Structure 1
Amino acid sequence: MDAKRGILLKVLATLAVTIMFACVRSLDGRIPTGEVVFFRSVFALVPVVLWYGLKGRLAAMVHTESVWRHFGRGLTGTGGMFFNYLALAYLPLAQLTAFSYAVPIFTVIFAALLLGEVVRIYRWSAVAVGLCGVLVMLLPALMDSIRGADGSDALLIGAASALFAAACSALSVIQIRRMTATEDPAAIVFWFTVLTTALGLASLVFGWTMPDPRQLALLIGCGLFGGLAQVLMVMALRAAHASLLAPFDYVGMLWAVVVGYFAFAAVPDIYTLAGAIIVGGAGLFTIWRESRLRALVRREQEALVRNP
């Protein structure tokens, strides 16, 4: 394992995700969200297939033990993608990134409800703190809505979409936990991309918009950087342990602030930054607590093997 290389790849992956979101944000909501999902998915296949082809893993990429598990994960993953892109029509890049930090919080909730995991007071406390952070980020939009200020409804729609996206992403994490027992990571990445492409294409019946050259370039860029982010993430996980890499998801806020400022002249307000710190801190504690629990279980299993 090469920790430094893994961290570098993870940081580059978060940058690729931020650029992907910036491409979507630059569309200004003028392209239907289902159409954006299609372009993001179909062009993401390019770096994914190229990388696994160069690695000689095309057979592993297409082999699967259960198409239905991929389909279920595809639905939740597409939901996360759809609502993220919808939120970008209403929210600045940094604010969307801040809301995405709620994913570990939702993961704890769904793990308890769907997997029957025992969640003790420490992680429930982290969930409560994280939800308080979400309320801090929502406070300006809620106050504007109460006052009847212009644009308040748009902000609430964006915030609700971002939270739905985080919930869908958390469900996707839960499904991946189940799938890794039987499915190769290459197959998980490939079939997810294929299924999101098909689901995005299905939205054609609701009407698409013919993109102009600039919009087409942004759609293609969204897909290529999305696929690149997936490849970099897999490379990072091969180089270092997931528990080491998880905290570096939060570097995404730095990228979002920098890209948001230079690309859109957007500066996050104090509520977004404060909420992001609260939610991010709760998420980091959750990640740390889960890694401690996994380490404890591993030590107990090793002790049983040594002393049956």
Structure 2
Amino acid sequence: MSPMRGIALKLASVFLFTIMASLVKAASAHVPPGQAVFFRSALAMPVIVAWLAMRGDLSTGFRAQRPLMHLWRGLVGVTAMGCNFAALGLLPLPEVTVLGYAAPMLTVVLAAVMLGERLRLFRMSAVALGLVGVSIVLWPRLAFDDLSDAALLGVGLIMISTVMRALAQIQIRRMVAVEETSAIVFYFSLTATLFSLLTLPFGWTWPGWGVTGMLIASGLIGGVAQILLTSSYRFAGAAVLAPFEYASILFAVLFGYAFFDEVPTGAVLIGAGIVILAGVVIIWRERQLGMRRGQARSNMTPQG
């Protein structure tokens, strides 16, 4: 194990995922979310296949032991990604990033319901604290009568995305017992590409070269980010790496201000601090309990 190398890879993946989200946000005014999901997934596949070939994992990457499990993981994952991409076009980048942090909190609850994991008072308290932070971020969106329908729709979409991401995490926890990591990575990109094609009749456009370039870049960068994320868990444990996921809020604030003239509100910053604190507490508690989540987390993306 080489923790510093793992941390560097994790931070690089978070940075690239934020760049990818910024590209999708910039393109959202010109293409529908389903089309953005297609480019994100389809263009990532050559990168992932090349990576599997370099590792000598092509045979395991193409071998699916439980095809229906991959299908279900693809369905919930592509739903999470599509809703996240749609929300990016309606809400500021830092706000979407912070609200997405609710996914680990929901995963703890769903794991108790669906996997029978014990939900002790300590973790229940951390989840409740995290949801308080999410509520602080949401409150300005829900408390004023003059809010636009677009903003409210964005909040609804990111909440759906968060639930779907938590369901995807639960599914991956089931899959790692019977499927190779390489197969989970490959078949998610494949199923996401195929599912996104179902949205073709619903408003796909012929974007200009600039927008097309952003969409192509989002797919290639997303594929590289996924590889860096997966590789980071070869050098450090999940409990070491998980807190560095929260570096995404720093990158989101920077890119949001630089490219979209977005300045996070006080509610977003306060809520983000509370959510991050709750997330770190949950990570620390899972480490104390000896829960092995490395394989599952190595297959998750910020979109599902």
1:89-128 aligned at under 5 Å gives the runs 89-128=89-128
Q: In structure 1, what is the equivalent of residue 254 of structure 2?
A: 258
Match of residue 248, structure 1, among 227, 244, 248: 244
Q: In structure 1, what is the equivalent of residue 53 of structure 2?
A: 53
1:39-188 aligned at under 5 Å gives the runs 39-144=39-144, 147=145, 149-151=146-148, 153-188=149-184
Deviation readout 1:155-184 (Å, 9 max, x if unpaired): 221122112111111111111111111111
* TM-score (ref. length: structure 1): 0.92
Contact 1:47 1:228 in 2 (8 A): yes
Q: Which runs of 4+ in 1 moved over 4 A?
A: none
One-letter code aligned to 2:204 = W
Deviation readout 1:219-240 (Å, 9 max, x if unpaired): 1111111111110011101111
Cα distance in structure 2, aligned partners of 1:129 and 1:295: 21
One-letter code aligned to 1:17 = F
SS of equivalent residue, structure 1 residue 7: helix
Quick one: percent identity of the two aligned structures? 42
Contact 1:6 1:239 in 2 (8 A): yes
SS of equivalent residue, structure 2 residue 207: coil
Q: In structure 2, what is the equivalent of residue 237 of structure 1?
A: 233
Q: CA deviation at 1:57?
A: 1.4
SS of equivalent residue, structure 1 residue 20: helix
Structure exhibiting the larger radius of gyration computed from Cα positions? 1
Cα distance in structure 1, aligned partners of 2:100 and 2:50: 29
Match of residue 273, structure 1, among 241, 244, 269: 269
1:185-204 aligned at under 5 Å gives the runs 185-204=181-200
User: Could you say which structure has the higher helix fraction?
Assistant: 1
Structure 2: any 5+ residue segments left out of the alignment?
293-304
Deviation readout 1:105-147 (Å, 9 max, x if unpaired): 0101110111111101111111211111111111111122xx3
User: More displaced, 74-83 or 25-34?
Assistant: 25-34
Deviation readout 1:174-199 (Å, 9 max, x if unpaired): 11111111111110000000000000
Deviation readout 1:62-114 (Å, 9 max, x if unpaired): 01211111111101111110110011011111111101111110101110111
Q: In structure 1, what is the equivalent of residue 285 of structure 2?
A: 289
Contact 1:64 1:187 in 2 (8 A): yes
Cα distance in structure 2, aligned partners of 1:84 and 1:150: 20
Cα distance in structure 1, aligned partners of 2:56 and 2:117: 37
Q: CA deviation at 1:30?
A: 2.6
One-letter code aligned to 1:111 = A
Cα distance in structure 2, aligned partners of 1:277 and 1:162: 19
Q: In structure 2, what is the equivalent of residue 224 of structure 1?
A: 220
Contact 1:48 1:190 in 2 (8 A): yes
Question: What is the count of residue pairs matched by the alignment?
Answer: 292
Structure 1: any 5+ residue segments left out of the alignment?
297-308
Q: CA deviation at 1:29?
A: 3.3
Q: In structure 2, what is the equivalent of residue 300 of structure 1?
A: none
Contact 2:134 2:275 in 1 (8 A): yes
Cα distance in structure 2, aligned partners of 1:237 and 1:165: 24
Contact 1:29 1:86 in 2 (8 A): no
One-letter code aligned to 1:162 = I
Q: CA deviation at 1:150?
A: 4.8
